[in-house]
Amino acid sequence: MTEDDSRFMAMALEEAEKSLADGGLPIGAVLVRGGEVVASGHNQRVQEGDPIAHGEMDCLRKAGRQKTYRDTTLYTTLSPCMMCSGTILQFGIPRVVVGEAENFVGDIPFLESRGVSVTLMDDAGCKDVMHRFLAQPGGQALWHEDIMED
């Protein structure tokens, strides 16, 4: 883990906090190339009524068309789900930095088995924003809707 990893994860956490403040799920993401931010985004499922608007997907949409993603790193506050992991593989993103995998294990082993370098930060701030969200009235139900669990 590098200083840049900490800096970019802090930006992803700011995105997660924005989503929480807007009544959404607190998951943020930042796409970086060569030490520069290409795009950032956050989960917008609730705000946009879009079931595919996970934090990583919002970030990648905002990045727009790229000639390649093979020289990028994706920072995400929470372990990516299968949909987002599939997109990471589809775009050939070689490195993913995950803020935490305590609240959602996600698909880190799948990404690693496909050659993606995954760094798990185990970040207290990323855990905290999810804990605050889950403690809110309706937070658990919304989370279960997001991850498609009853």
Residue indicated by tokens 């990893």: 5
Extended beta strands in 43-115, E state: 72-78, 95-100
Q: How far is 109 from 123, CA to CA, in rounded Å?
A: 19
Q: Is 56 a catalytic residue?
A: yes
Structure-token pair, residue 42: 């956050």
DSSP 137: T
Q: What are the residues whose beta carbons fall under 8 Å from the beta carbon of 65, sequence distance 6 or more? A: none
Structure-token pair, residue 96: 């993913």
Q: How far is 131 from 20, CA to CA, in rounded Å?
A: 11
Residue 100's H or E segment, with its range, is strand 95-100
Q: At what angle do helices 124-135 and 139-146 cross, to 10 degrees?
A: 110
Task: Name the catalytic one among 14, 15, 36, 56.
Answer: 56
Residues with a catalytic annotation lie at 56
